[in-house]
Amino acid sequence: MWDKGEYSFSTCWNIKRHSVGREMIEEIKSLGFRQVELNYNVTEAFMATIEPMIDKGDIGISSVHNVFPFIADKDYDTDSVLLGFDDEAKRKRAVDLLIRSMEYAVRYGAKAVVVHPGEVPFDYNIDADLKKLYREFGKDSPEYKQLWGEMLERRERLSPRYLQRMQDSLEQASEHAASKGWQVAIGIETRARCYQMPTLMEAKTICDNLQGSPVGLWYDIGHAMMMDRMGLYDNVRELPIVQPYICGVHIHETLELSDHWCPYVHSKDTNYFDHFLDAIEHAKVKVYELKAACQPDEIHESHGMIIRKLQNRH
C-alpha cells in the first residue's frame, strides 16, 4: 500500500506549501513514492537541497517539466506560444530552454522531459470564457456553440502553421540531444485549454513526422478528459490510435472542467477512469499530478484502486 513502486509524483501537489526543496521531497516520500517529477515551479534554490538527495539515491527523478528550473518570464511559461513563436529569436530561446531542461533531466537520470509545446494565440483567454459559458449554460447552449465555433475556426485555420513551427523546434532539440548521446524522451503534453496544442491527432502528426526522434506523446489524462467534454476531440475513441506514441502519463481525474483530482475517489465514479488503464500500463513514465486539495488518504485510496484494477485484468 505504502510503496508506490514505479509510480512517480509531481511536486505540483505541495510546492506552494514549502520553501525548502528537501522538505517538499520528504513529504512526497512519506506518501510512499520513490520517484518524483520536478515541475516547472521548482527553482534553483529548491534544487540546492534536492540535488544532494538525488546524488545519495534518496529520491529518483522520473521526469522534469519544461521550463526547468523555473524562470520568471511570461513569454516562456506553461501557457505560451513557446516552441511555435513566429519571432525567430524567441523561438530559438524556447528551443534553448528546452535543451536546458533536457540537460537537467539527463543529469538527474530522468527518463523524460514534459513539454507544453505551444498554442494558437488569441488576443485574450477565450478558453476561460468558454468554460464560464459551459458552466452557466451548458455545452449545447447557443451561447457556448457560437463562441466555440469562433474559437474552432481560428484554431483550425492557424494550427498547421504553428504545428510546423513546433515540429521544427522539437527537431532542433532532438538533433542536439542526438549529438550529445542523451537518452531522454521529449513528451508533448495534451493540454488544458482548447486553443492550446496538441490535440491527440496533432500529437500523432508530430510524432509521425519525427519518427526516430525522442519525441512522444505525454498523455495528460485529466486534460484530455476536459478537452473531450468541451468538444475538441473524442478522447476515448482516439486514445487507442495514439497509445503507441505515449511515453508518459499524468494521472489525475477531472470533475466537469476542474482537473487534478484523485481518480475514482473524487468523482465517485468507479468505472469511467477504467478507459485510461491501458494507457497507464503502457506508459514508461507514470506520474500522479494532483492538486494540493488531495489528501494523503485519498491519494492512497486512489492508487490502491488503480493497482487492483490493473492486477485484476491479468
pLDDT in tens, 171-190: 999 999 999 999 999 999 99
C-beta atoms surrounding 283 within 10 Å: 22
Q: Could you give the CA distance from residue 249 to residue 78 in angstroms, rounded to a whole number?
A: 17
Domain count, the chain: 1
Q: Is 213 among the domain residues? A: yes
Q: Is 152 among the domain residues? A: no
Q: Is 148 among the domain residues? A: no
- Which grid cell sits at 122? 488569441
Q: Is 104 among the domain residues? A: yes
Q: 72-81, 138-147, 175-184: which range is least confident on average?
A: 72-81
C-beta atoms surrounding 106 within 10 Å: 17
**The pLDDT of residue 285 is above 90:** yes
Q: Could you give the CA distance from residue 11 to residue 28 in angstroms, rounded to a whole number?
A: 8
Cis bond before residue 69 (omega within 30° of 0): yes
| pLDDT, average across residues 241-270 | 97
8-10 and 35-38 strand pairing: parallel
Categorize the per-residue pLDDT at 78 as very low, low, confident or very high, splitting at 50, 70 and 90.
confident
Q: Is 301 among the domain residues? A: yes
User: Is residue 216 a contact partner of residue 189, using CB atoms and an 8 Å limit?
Assistant: no
What's residue 72's pLDDT?
Answer: 86
What's residue 75's pLDDT?
Answer: 82
Q: Could you give the CA distance from residue 53 to residue 50 in angstroms, rounded to a whole number?
A: 5
Query: 100: buried, middle or exposed (CB in 10 Å: 19+, 13-18, 0-12)?
Result: middle
**The pLDDT of residue 33 is above 90:** yes
More confident call, 280 vs 74: 280
More confident call, 301 vs 313: 301
Q: Is 241 among the domain residues? A: yes
Which residue range is the domain that position 82 belongs to?
8-118+163-312
Kindly report the CATH number assigned to the domain that includes residue 12. 3.20.20.150
Q: Is 133 among the domain residues? A: no
User: Is residue 253 a contact partner of residue 273, using CB atoms and an 8 Å limit?
Assistant: yes
User: Is residue 287 a contact partner of residue 252, using CB atoms and an 8 Å limit?
Assistant: no
User: Is residue 17 a contact partner of residue 47, using CB atoms and an 8 Å limit?
Assistant: no
